[in-house]
């Protein structure tokens, strides 16, 4: 008997027959890209669903990050987190911007707003926080600092689809927010991303930048890139949006089961549910501390040996990679909370099709 493989996340795929009518419409229209009917429908549907003013769809979130920085003409230095996926900081390097790493908060692993001011220099132009695992950053404190020092705020909201704070979309904070629609996200378009902006003029500039800077057949106004989402990806997004609410409820129940099973295990701590927030239950991270009988990597291997593929997400820190580790702000002594979290973090499998028996198997391996 072949053992079932349990991964940290799996894309939620609707039945193929549900997607066929969408494909037939694309074939009939003969519009495959360049802002076709499904692209326009998905933008409108997401604006309504996410309660945002404007959204610009992209082929992926990395190009969206790169373009977001260009759209605001960010230069110099940007204060950001070392505890994220590398695309966050890579987008800065692609724009010739120097990342300045700021430590994170121990309770939610987001950028520690209390440390931002000490890192601001005359070259600082923006702050790029991450809503880690979909938990909202301290948006009020960050915005207060940004206003005082005339800085832009660009949120990497890759994990934060559908997340609200005090009943307001977390995507409406800052100057721009960037979403990821990668296959592993709670809402996906196979591959894709988006920029949320607050005014029509900014949307127009972003839309030009994602299409080579073209505004008509004879005019190019900026050195843009090809970041457009295809009609097939947009159509899949329309289909996925229909099932999001049901998938979120299933994720919520799995989150509840994990918390119940893992309660009281010495050395294993779950991140607390975010206060005043409506989460999307995209991830289930635990911290494996020194009181637990095994080190984090040993537990990771134990799970893998039993066909459970968890993820050390985020390890290593971005600041440990060769292109960043020589920066003064990348020294571990400046980032003690992030270093500790990276060495203890383990994201357990969480997706709508995960069975209660799977959760039982996983937690029993951790308990025993």
pLDDT at 241 over 70: yes
pLDDT > 70: what percent of the chain?
98
Q: What is the pTM of this model?
A: 0.95
pLDDT of 271 higher than 50: yes
- Residue 11, pLDDT score: 67
What would the pLDDT profile of 316-335 be if each residue is shown by its tens digit? 999 999 999 999 999 999 99
Which region among 3-12, 80-89, 343-352 has the lowest average model confidence (pLDDT)? 3-12
User: Is 6 within a domain?
Assistant: no
pLDDT at 22: 80
Sheet holding 164-165, edge to edge: 168-169, 164-165, 277-278
Question: Could you count the other beta carbons within 10 Å of the beta carbon of residue 280?
Answer: 22
Q: Over the stretch 88-100, which tens digit does the pLDDT of each residue have?
A: 999 999 999 999 9
What average pLDDT is seen over the chain? Answer: 95
Q: Show which of 240, 269, 303 is a domain's final residue.
A: 240
Tell me what pLDDT residue 3 has. 65
What is the pLDDT, as a whole number, of residue 276?
83
Residue pLDDT, tens place only, 121-146: 999 999 999 999 999 999 999 999 99
Task: Give me 179's structure tokens.
Answer: 């979403």
Query: Could you tell me if 122 and 249 lie in one domain?
Result: no
Same domain, 84 and 114: yes
Q: Are residues 196 and 284 in the same domain?
A: no
pLDDT in tens, 196-226: 999 999 999 999 999 999 999 999 999 999 9
Per-residue pLDDT at 2: 47
CATH code of the domain in which 183 resides: 3.40.640.10
Among the candidates 199, 219, 240, a domain finishes at 240
Domain count, the chain: 2
Assess whether pLDDT exceeds 90 at residue 23: no
Range of the domain at 319: 244-367
**Within a domain: residue 350?**
yes
Q: Is the pLDDT of residue 1 over 70?
A: no
């Amino acid at each position: 008997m072949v053992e079932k493989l349990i991964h940290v996340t799996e894309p939620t795929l609707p039945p193929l027959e549900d997607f066929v009518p969408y494909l037939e419409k694309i074939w009939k229209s003969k519009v495959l890209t360049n802002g076709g009917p499904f692209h326009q429908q998905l933008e409108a549907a997401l604006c309504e669903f996410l309660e945002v003013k404007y959204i610009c769809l992209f082929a992926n979130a990395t190009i969206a990050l790169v373009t977001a920085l260009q759209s605001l003409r960010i230069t110099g230095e940007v204060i950001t987190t070392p505890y994220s996926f590398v695309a966050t900081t890579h987008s800065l390097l692609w724009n010739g911007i120097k990342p300045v790493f700021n430590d994170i908060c121990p309770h939610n692993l987001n950028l520690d707003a209390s440390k931002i001011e000490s890192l601001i220099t005359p070259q600082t132009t923006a702050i790029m926080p991450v809503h880690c695992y979909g938990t909202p950053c301290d948006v009020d404190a960050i915005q207060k600092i940004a206003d005082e020092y005339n800085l832009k705020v660009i949120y990497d909201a890759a994990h934060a689809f559908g997340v609200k704070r005090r009943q307001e979309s977390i995507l409406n904070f800052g100057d721009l927010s960037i979403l990821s629609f990668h296959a592993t996200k709670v809402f996906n378009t196979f591959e894709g991303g988006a920029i949320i902006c607050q005014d029509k003029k900014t949307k127009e500039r972003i839309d030009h930048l994602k299409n080579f800077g073209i505004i008509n057949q004879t005019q190019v106004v900026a050195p843009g890139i090809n970041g457009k989402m295809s009609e097939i990806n947009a159509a899949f997004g329309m289909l996925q949006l229909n099932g999001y609410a049901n998938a979120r409820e299933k994720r919520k129940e799995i989150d509840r089961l994990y918390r119940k099973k893992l309660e009281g295990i010495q050395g294993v701590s779950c991140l607390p549910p975010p206060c005043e927030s409506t989460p999307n239950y995209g991830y289930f991270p635990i911290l494996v501390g020194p009181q637990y009988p095994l080190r984090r990597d040993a537990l990771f291997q134990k799970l893998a040996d039993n066909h459970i593929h968890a993820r050390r997400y985020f390890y290593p820190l971005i600041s440990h990679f060769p292109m960043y580790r020589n920066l003064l702000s990348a020294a571990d002594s400046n980032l003690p909370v992030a270093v500790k979290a990276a060495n203890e973090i383990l994201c357990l499998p969480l997706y709508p099709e995960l069975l209660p028996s799977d959760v039982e198997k996983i937690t029993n391996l951790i308990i025993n």
